Amino acid sequence: MPPLSDEADREATAQFLMRLRGRGVRDLAVLRALEATPRRLFTPQKYRDLAFREMALPIACGQEMPDPFFVARLVADAAIGPQPRVLDIGAGSGFCTAVFARLAGEVLSIERWRSLAIEAKTRLETLGVANAACVWADGRDAATAAGRFERIVVHAALAPADRDRLASALAPEGALIAGDAESGAAGEVDLARWTLAGDGAWRREPLGRARLRRLESGMSAAL
C-alpha cells in the first residue's frame, strides 16, 4: 500500500478541503475530521488516484463508496456533537464511520455484507479508532437491540415502514438522516433529516437531492 501521508496525499486533501469551504462547508470540526481521516486507506487500491474526485467508486459486493463531497455534506447535515451516540447503517468501506468517530462519543456501524463489515472493522482498527464498532447485521433489526442514538444515519432511501421501524432506536430530540424513498425513483431521491414530534409523528426537513438506493433487508456473506 502506498504511504498515506506523502506530499501528494496532503496536497489532494488540502485541495479537497478548500473546495468544501467554497461550497459552504465551514464547520471547523467537520473539516478537521475529514482532514484527519485518510480517505485513501478506505479506497480500493486501483482507484486510489480518484479518491478525492467527485464520483462514487465501486467497492466489493456491488456496492459503492460515496464521493467525498457527499460524505462531507452528510457529516455536516448530521450536526454531530462530542457526546452523541451515532448509528451508521450501511458501513460500506467504513470511511464515513471513521469520520463520525472523530466527532461523536460512540459510533455503531452496521453492514449487511459480511466481507465489507470485516474489511471496515479492520480499517478502523488499523487507524486505532477505539470509539467505533462495525458489525455484520441487518440494520433494520440490529438497531432496535442496541439502545438509543442521538443520530441515526442511513446510507439508503427509506420507505415509511423502515423509518418507523427505526423510531425506537432514536433518542429524544434525536435526528434520523436518510433518503426518502417516496420522493423519487431510479436512485434519485431527497436526502432528509427526520425528527419525532411529541405525538410520535415524523417531521421532515429536506436536505437536497442525492443518489441513494432503497434500503435492502437481510444479511449476506458475499456477493
pLDDT on residue 142: 66
SS3 letters across 191-214: EEEEEECCCCCEEEEEEEEEECCE
Confidence of residue 89 (pLDDT cuts 50, 70, 90): very high
pLDDT on residue 176: 96
pLDDT on residue 83: 85
Confidence of residue 3 (pLDDT cuts 50, 70, 90): very low
> Mean of the pLDDT values across residues 35-53?
91
Give CA–CA dist 71/202, Å, rounded: 24
Whether the predicted pLDDT of 140 surpasses 90: no
Give CA–CA dist 173/150, Å, rounded: 7
pLDDT on residue 222: 65
Confidence of residue 1 (pLDDT cuts 50, 70, 90): very low
> Mean of the pLDDT values across residues 145-170?
92
Domain positions in the chain: 56-211
pLDDT on residue 2: 41
Q: How far apart are the first and last CA of the chain?
A: 25
In this structure, which CATH number among 3.40.50.300, 3.40.50.1860, 3.40.50.150, 3.30.930.10 belongs to the domain 56-211? 3.40.50.150
